[in-house]
Chain A
Amino acid sequence: MAAQLNLSGPPDSGLSSLTDQSMSSQTSNRSLRVAEKERRKNEAEDPSVLALQYFYNVEAGTPVSGNDEVERNLVLVEQVAYRNGLSPEAISIMLEFAMSLRMGHSLCPRVLKCLIPVTVVPQEAVVRGVSWLGVGKIPVSTQVLFIKWVLTVFDMIDAKDQLRAIYGFIFSFVSEENLCPFICHLLYLLTSKQIVQVFRVRKLLELQSKLGRQPFLLNLLSLYKVFCPELVTLSIPSRSKSVFKNHNMPWKSALFAVQKRNGSQVASSISLASASKDGTNRRKRKHRHLEIPVLSSVVNKEPQTETSRRLVPLVQIQSVAELLENMDHIELPAQMGSLLGSSLALQYLDCVQDESALLRLNFWLGYALHEELLFCGDGASQNSEESLQFLDKLLSTQHFLQEGFSSSEAFLYKFLNVWDGSLLRPQILGLLSNIPVIPSSQIGRLLFEPLMQLFFTSSVFFKCGLIECLNNMLLKWLIWHSVYALEDDLDISLNSHTSINMTLSGFKDSVMGLVDFVGRLGSIGLQLEGCHSLLLSFILDFYTMVCDMFLKYGLPLVVLPPPGVFYPALFATDPVSVDRLAFIMYRYKVNLTSAKSQEKLTEQAFHISRQTFREFNNYTVYMVNCLWNSKMFQPGMGVQLGEELLLKSNVPQYWTSFDLVHHPAFMSYAIDFHQKCWPGKKDIDLDSIKHSKPWSWYLEYLFSQGYDGLELFVQSNIRARQGDGQQGDSLST
């Protein structure tokens, strides 16, 4: 063995490291001399190897005092240890030397202090070291030092299986009063489920009654509780931190320095503590229903047969890697609600297939929501800070899972009837947008009736918020549809458990219901709010999605906006709204054309009613007439006014009022264009833009301002540029 010895690095010629050591000055001087001598001999043979050989071979009972040889060799080893760390073999030799007390116990602490591993610590060495403890000749302080050392390098021990095998032996040292805290820590690191036995619990409880509430006993017992909650009951006061003391300072800095010098990445997570709860300081409050339960394992376990798979409690899982490893045999926690409190558990929640487990979670969640927001009439707003945090947590969970919980849905149906529209608005609207598809027969009563009331009695900002929420809801429904439509041909099928089956047409009815509802809200909302441009923008957002339902989400359904939305958008005073409307109309055309061609191609394509085509054509023709042809009031169009009334209004050339030049949204562009086109002209004659040449320049100018929707609309609907008198292109029905 000695022949293979090899210290991690060449001994450094510098002496500075030696001066760091805590020795008496006399010894230090001598060591310096010795080291100096050693250095000269360095070239011949690696002296540190020889030094280790010395410690390996030294006879028991060799005297220490006055023994220069020991001193010299030890200094050599120390030198290497503090500079580069010791190799696994060196650790084995030195540890064996120290613990066997071959040269008495005076050198022991000094040797232990320099056991700085460079890579790993061999498990055998530690096991042998522990076994020497049993001999009983080592002074207590040295024993403590040894255990402290084991704790410090615990993460660097190359394997733990043999150490676990002698758990019982290590456990026997807990009765040694001085060793107990450190032994408890070591046991804590080694404990596994099989090890937790009634007699060990008893022993610890007995110690507890003797020593009082010691944190080290408590920590070990609480770990036992995690593994075997049926054996030990313990409630830890929320204030006390369940962390073992960091009693390994002598090595920590040396270890750190060595590792730094070697650039090694061996992480020594020295503060390996019990799974400390996240440091949330829970305020005392009267109602505790919003508190997310602590993750803990089940007490009343089903008797497990030996053959059945061993289940791992979720509490014991510390990393995603472990989670993946044990994915198929994880034991659910005692309280399902606790999954919401841990991000790791949340990952698992996505895979939970147990119906009862989800029902438990829903019972808890529904209970919390009901108690907080529905049942306690008086104190509801007082706790709004906590409610807010709770709902935010719930929302982020639902976002993570990409779906809503059924209990929050059931809660919302009740809550909407009593909601004032302002309490926790963003959260409630967020939850609302996660509601899954509701059958069209229910949707009115559950959703539309309460929302309608809220919509008409609330501020414009609520209106915007609600439209956005419904927009998100529709988006989720459509995504859901498009994902599953790909999966199987008849996408939505009846399930044997349901009383009412939702077919594709059922789904379409629901979507249609929702779109119609938003159309109604939009029409009346725009009237109530005087065509508020913010509200209009949210409504147009909604229709930007609706117009593409067929092509983007594969839903064979085309629903046009109602006149109450279309005309306010067309006559809006801001160009962005008009542009967006133009884009929406363009997308409608693309969708309808594509649907029509599919209808011709395949038999089972869906049928679009003539009414839809007619509506679309009316809108398009009107838009073209209005913006392009300056013919606002044609007979048979959507907007009609009596000739006399129009004359009475004294608006000159009223039929041109909303063409691309005179439209209030574009007038400023027209004037700007006019000035750029004819810089010299003092009188602005906007009509002059309408001549063939300037008209096409004007269009180009407008499109260059970023009005892509308008450009697409013009390109798709107007065939050729022949100056005035062009016709809108309409789809045949």
Chain B
Amino acid sequence: MSETSRFRSLEGGHGALKGAQTAWDMLSEEQMQKHITTGCEELDAILGGGIHCKEVTEVGGVPGIGKTQLGIQLAVNVQIPVECGGLGGKAIYIDTEGSFMVERAHQIAEGCISDLLDNTAHRLKDFPACPEILQPNSFLANIFYFRICSYTEQIATINYLEKFLEEQKDVKIIVVDSITFHFRQDFDDLALRTRVLGGMSLKLMRFAKKYSLAVVLLNQVTTKFVEGSFHLTLALGDTWSHACTNRIILYWNGNDRHAYIDKSPSLRSATAPFLITGKGIRNATSHCKRVRMM
């Protein structure tokens, strides 16, 4: 018997190490895993294909940079049918700030569908069911929206998701916009805050792994005094910064919006420019640097 097969039968068969997987099995799984496209090819490229499922990704930036836009774009893009290369899943959008504008979501869904019809027309010919699925209203019907007004509701909702996800098996992304809002305002006890946030992030990570979905947490920025000057950094402190698997920072570079991979176990640090257009998040091409009016 070879070394590898002996090792495999040792731990896989009788559950001696319950829940363990060999790295090779994990690699095969990862390679089969689909990613959620952001709409911008360059951004997808530095992300290794898009937002990863089974992982928690944090996205932070200054007000107005486009975090909510990215959140809505992902909630729409997760629904791209499997026939067109997407996940064909549903989305949960947890809104803590009231920044979700449903008309904008409709606009982004329209933009996504029109691009799909343009780019993948050849594939769609074979699938007659698609015209009904590819309607902005059906995309909107697949976004489950929770409006949260206090940190109690935030904790309660994330607890309740356990049950919700058992019933709705198609959900492939959870977007929390933003994870920070209620924890910056209502908490005076920082130790309690750290503990509560830690508990929440563990639960979300568990959902990501168990149900093979992507978790995207939008975060605000704050200033931090480092080495004699103020720097921008994501809110919620140093302990929270360990809680997410990946971290993307959206920022202004001159007049362009850029995304920077700040932390990732498998991707190297890189930046990519992106645009926010009437259709949603798209590539920043050299001839179309101007932001178009909607």
Is the pairing of A and B real? no
